[in-house]
Structure 1
Amino acid sequence: MDMVAEPDKIKAVSRSSDWLADGGTMGARIRAFDWSNHPLGPLEAWPQSLKIAVRIMLTSRYAMWLGWGTEFYFFCNDAYLPTVGIKESWVLGASARQVWAEIWPDIGPRAETVVATGKATWDESLLLFLERSGYVEETYHTFSYSPISDDDGSTGGMLCVVTEDTERVIGERRLRLLRELAADLTQTNTEEEVCQVASRQLSSDDKDLPFALLYLFEANAETNGWQARLVCASATTPLDETIAPPVIELANAAALWPAQAVWREAEALTVADLAAQKVVPPMGPWQQPTRQALVIPLAQQGQEHPAGFLVAGLNPLRALDASYRGFISLLAGQITAALANARAYEAERRRVAALAEL
């Protein structure tokens, strides 16, 4: 009799998870997960309302996660996996309190209010510090928590429908600085004015630029060599010689900011692990010290060596990706162009003055 009953048992188990069909990667994981020892119990024992909610979530291409019960047992669809990041392997069925432990003080009260009152929430571009990439990360999300009814009519859990706004919010912030810097630089005629504008504008975005330094190369008459001279810094930069030396001799290959390498190679360089180099950079708005800086040469058209370089302290809560590098390169490019125009203006002024003396 057991041999006859076994195929029927297999068919019953298969039918019990048919509602997970077309559920993508997460649907397959729910099928494969051993629920027998989980507080929710086996799939066939789940409330019909939970099955329907999970089915809706899994088959949507919009990023969603679902928390069920008082512990908010966690489910999500494939579209939400990038938000989970490195936690992907263990989040299924875990308490959302554990999954999002780092932001539960922010989102927990919202989730609990939804379950307690049955009323939905709404947040737009909310700043959340996620730990999904191996470090604390600045992220922004627009989302709604909605109640999910249990089979008895009470609220059994909540569904989150979310759009991540991180790239948009940060992109708009960076574009605003680029736009305002470009506008102000059009009003400059001298190197001093360029430096004043650069200092003011670079100070306006301490989220992306916790500190910034601008150095220009010049001949050193005493040594018959070259040196980099600090011409301006953002207001957030502590002006002590450990982080902002007024002069860097090119002969000093051990200098914190690699003036010699920039002069020779005219390529962007990353200075990592500032703390290990006994530098105490400013905390910035994040209350975390900057760990590294990007040094960008101010390339001169038709010249072998750059005019100088920009040192940009990096946001400790964002990765130095292509977008971040591109942003800082554009800043350096705008300053370079303004310096070139200022030098051309000064050369023309001198030429006119010389002609007037004839």
Structure 2
Amino acid sequence: MNPESLFAASGAAGRVLAAKDWSATTLGPPRDWSPSLRTAVCICLESRFPMIVMWGSELAYIYNDPCIPNLGDKHPAAMGMPLRQVWPEVWDELYPLSAQVMSGGGATWSANKRLLIRRHGYLEEAYFTFSFSPIREISDGARIAGVLSTYQETTRELIHSRRLACQRELTATLTRLRTQRSVCTRTPAVLEKYPEDIPYSIVVLWDRLPSLSAPLAVAASGLGERRATRNALAVLDRSGVLPEVVEATSLAGGRVVSRVPEWESVQLAGGSPAPATALVVALRNRPAATATPAGLLVIGVSDLLALDQDYRDFVEAIAGQISLGLMLARSREAERTRAASARRSSLHDALTGLPNRTSFLRNLGRALLRSRRRSGRVAVLFVDLDGFKAVNDTLGHRAGDDLLREVAGRLRRTVRPADVVARFAGDEFAVLCEEIATVGAVETIAGRVVDALALARRGGRPTVAASVGVALSGPGLLDPEELLNAADIAMYAAKRQGRGRYLLYEEGMRS
């Protein structure tokens, strides 16, 4: 059997080889090939694993059927061409390997080597694990006459592994965040570690309604300075893309955006033009698919990767992770708000908003500790309204509530800004005053309180006044409860003396 017939029986690559006019190549017609070359080609064509024979000084390229999918548009023209012409874009990386083998330096190999190759009309990122081994010409003293290469493309596996690592890191980061704003700002910090898949990213978060003019937070990766991010958003906004995407993605997934006017003004951090195509996906902080988007994720599509379903699924998976992070953060924010509200309710009076007795005693305890360190004194004013019951009885409880709110407001305006005003129960109020230098200073405050709470009602209605008891911390009054009790005793003494006045606590009042 002649070589052409033998080769033609070895699949599509063999038929291309048999039909080719080899007379114009350095190898010449197959019938003139050496036994070593013909044997190597037969082994190559019969293999079910990608295999390549590169022969002679120009490394004429001969391949088998499993290589055809990896060649793309280069098949069938690549058959018999010099290696440099088949892969000019990666010649600088392949030449040292082939030169080592051809020069007698021995076989070599490379695992998961990244190559930027052009096989579908555009430059793309690809990964290969391959070996280069010498082919010897037995009839010529075992001279090395060519290279036998076996390889496996690992692009899908490597990219899948890289994207999985990105998603894992993003999940680990987002699950720890406590606010929606931090979800927005921390996401790009993770995505920027994977520029091969995500050349740039922009995360926009809104407060309530989608508004590109006043977002709650904007963060980006890959675009360098903040003004570059603002420029990118402004270009998308002027083109009408983002408003359109907001509407379109409220019920659906991502949207491919390309050929945007003015986009050439957007550059990556290194100064190179940003990819012309982007994927825009809605972000949500509520589980319902019909919920209004809480924000947008804009991902630049790498020019070195095909915009296939795997790429789109990857970007939409990231958007789903961010949305879940927003939901968790929103839930935590609501939980903190409820807890803060519960704490406030437990420490504040619902009617007036003033601190309650529990809160007042806590503040008083801390104030007494500070006074010991600073050698100062603390005063407590216990305030009880005279005539309040008559207001409730004649005008009703709503009028009584209005009066209590008015008293609370007057007390706040009358005392010093740093003083603490509290309502205990009914018509009882208290004031905490720190850094009292003299008795006269606290008497001045007490006098202002009595004057401010002299509330005369017109038309013969009851007159409301205040009885105020004042107690100053000292050697015998260093406990919060004791100091408050002393002010309470002084208040009752003021009532007995005619009401509408204040009295300072004296030890004899206890009897």
Contact 2:16 2:76 in 1 (8 A): no
Paired with 1:246 and 1:353, the residues of 2 have a C-alpha distance of 39
Normalised TM-score (structure 1): 0.86
CA distance 1:61–1:113, shift in 2 (3 Å): same
Q: Distance in 1 between matches of 2:296 and 2:125?
A: 27
Name which one, 1 or 2, has greater alpha-carbon Rg.
2
In the superposition, relative to structure 1, how do residues 230 and 95 fare at CA in structure 2: closer, same or farther (>3 Å)? farther
Distance 1:52 1:288, change over 3 A: farther
Matched, 1:122 2:109: yes
Asked if the contact 1:242/1:279 (under 8 Å) is kept, the reply is no
Identify which range, 316-325 or 210-219, moves more after superposition. Answer: 210-219
Given that 2:110 and 2:131 are in contact with CA atoms closer than 8 Å, whether structure 1 keeps it comes out as yes
> Quick check: 1:36 aligned with 2:20?
no
Return the alpha-carbon distance in structure 2 between the equivalents of residues 249 and 42 of structure 1: 60
User: Match of 1:83?
Assistant: 70
Cα gap change, 1:278/1:32 in structure 2, threshold over 3 Å: closer, same or farther? closer
8 Å CA contact 1:263, 1:306 repeated in 2: no
Alignment-derived partner of residue 173 in structure 1: 162
CA contact (8 A) 2:13 2:64 kept: yes
Q: Do structure 1's residue 295 and structure 2's residue 280 form an aligned pair?
A: yes
Higher relative CO (Cα under 8 Å, sequence separation at least 6) belongs to: 1
CA contact (8 A) 2:53 2:61 kept: yes
Counterpart of 1:278 in structure 2 is: 264
Comparing both structures, which one devotes a greater share of its residues to helix? 2
The question of 1:332 aligning with 2:319 is answered: yes
Q: Counterpart of 2:338 in structure 1: which amino acid?
A: R
Sequence identity (%): 33
- CA distance in structure 2 between the aligned counterparts of 1:122 and 1:165, rounded to whole angstroms: 14
2:55 is matched with 68
Aligned-CA RMSD value: 2.7
Write out per-residue CA displacement over residues 253-302 of structure 1, whole angstroms, 9 at most, x where no aligned residue: 724x52333234434112224685333221669x6742321111114422
CA distance in 1, matches of 2:2, 2:243: 69
Q: In the alignment, is residue 234 of structure 1 matched against residue 220 of structure 2?
A: yes
Aligned counterpart, 1:163: 152
In the TM superposition, what whole-angstrom CA distance separates every residue of 1:29-80 from its partner, at most 9, and x where no partner exists?
A: 1111122333322221111111110111111111111111101111111111
- Structure 2 unpaired stretches of 5+: 351-511
Q: Aligned pairs, how many?
A: 338
- 1:188 is matched with 177
Checking the alignment, whether the CA contact within 8 Å between 1:67 and 1:159 is kept in structure 2 is yes
Secondary structure in structure 2 of the residue aligned to 1:142: strand
Q: Using the alignment, how far apart are the partners of 2:269 and 2:162 within structure 1?
A: 19
Residue range with higher mean Cα deviation, 149-158 or 347-356 = 347-356
Q: Deviations over 1:15-41 (max 9, x none)?
A: 343432541100111111122333322
1:262 partner letter: V
Aligned partner (choices 44, 50, 56) of residue 43 of structure 2: 56
Say whether the 8 Å CA contact 1:214–1:230 is kept in structure 2. Answer: no
Q: 1:54 is paired with a residue of what secondary structure?
A: helix
Inter-CA distance 344–219: structure 2 relative to 1 (3 Å threshold): closer
Provide, for residues 122-148 of structure 1, a one-character-per-residue CA deviation record: whole Å limited to 9, x for no partner. Answer: 111111110112111111111111111
**Residue 255 of structure 2 corresponds to which residue in structure 1?**
269
| Letter paired with 1:261 | V
The residue type equivalent to 2:152 in the other structure is: T
1:311 to 1:91, Cα distance in 2 relative to 1, 3 A = same
Contact 2:62-2:80 within 8 A present in 1 as well: yes
* TM superposition shift of 1:351: 2.8
- Residue 203 of structure 1 corresponds to 192
User: Does the aligned pair in 2 maintain the 1:97–1:104 contact within 8 Å?
Assistant: yes
Query: Within 1, Cα distance between the matches of 2:190 and 2:119?
Result: 32
Question: What is residue 372 of structure 2 aligned with on the other side?
Answer: none
Please show how residues 141-152 of structure 1 align to structure 2 within 5 Å. 141-150=128-137, 151-152=139-140
SS in structure 2 opposite 1:244? helix
Contact 1:138 1:317 in 2 (8 A): yes
**What is residue 405 of structure 2 aligned with on the other side?**
none
State which of 305, 310, 314 in structure 1 corresponds to 2:292: 305
